[in-house]
Amino acid sequence: MNVTGIPQCSRPACGNPSGYRITSRLHCIPRNNTLSCSLRYVDGFDFGMIGEEDNIVNRRKNITEAPIELFFDEKGIENIITSQLTRTYDLNILKMVAEQLHPGNDFNDIGDGTFEGETASTIGRCNATFDVYHQSGDGNPNETRFRLKLLPPRLHMTSTETLIINKQTNLNHCSCYADSYFRKYGDTVVYQRLQADLDIMISHMEISETSFSSSTTRKGTSVSNHKTYNIIEITKIILEDIQPATKEPPAIVKPGETKILANHDIKSISTSY
């Protein structure tokens, strides 16, 4: 994850750009239509941090390694099982990472082209514009020790093709917004007391038999110490390897259910879910 803040006024008056970069490994174990995942080896650095953000890298390094379970349906992540003891801050970070595994549509018999659809994300449930196309290439299976079986078959992909999915969220057309997350989404003010505005949210996903990558870019503004900064936030996942699991995924202590929306409540569920 890369986050950069650029002052809106001249450099002598507002200072230099600031930001941070966080790296980690997402370990997942599949089981039927679920993935049991956890973040490990979190590291990072910051430069010229502003206001209360100067401790953010240390906060990220201390993020919980407790597992979460991602339940999938045909459109992506349907719900998330996590411990009710998980801190909201930690869970929001995990959701931002998990969001990269969430295409947001079933792409039922979709060929190359652009279409509109409604999709859930960390910021809410909003209309989005999808741009989907197949990119041909020779591929190089020797670069990896695995091959992915692409589902569903209606994606109509060959072994040498890469499926490209671009998604731009229409921030002004949402049926709900994540609670207390941003002050303004596009032109829509939702939580006046907050100081961060979201102007653009776009996602890019590439899928083939031998590779997977997904990223989300958010652009907006934030106010700190009475100064306004242009913020660019990029969250990206790249599939590095697939290995046989050596043990069952750990049990979730005091499990609860939540949605992909940031700050969404965790509801108690049976331990035998």
pLDDT in tens, the chain (273 residues): 777 777 776 666 666 777 888 888 999 999 888 999 998 888 887 776 555 555 666 766 677 778 899 999 988 999 999 999 999 988 999 999 999 999 998 877 667 889 999 999 999 999 999 999 988 876 555 566 666 766 666 666 777 889 899 999 999 999 999 999 999 999 999 999 999 999 999 999 999 888 899 999 999 999 877 888 899 999 999 999 888 888 888 889 999 999 999 999 999 987 666
Is residue 69 within 8 A of residue 34, CB to CB? The reply is yes
CATH of 14-107+116-268, one of 1.10.10, 3.40.50, 1.20.120, 2.30.230: 2.30.230
- Specify the pTM: 0.87
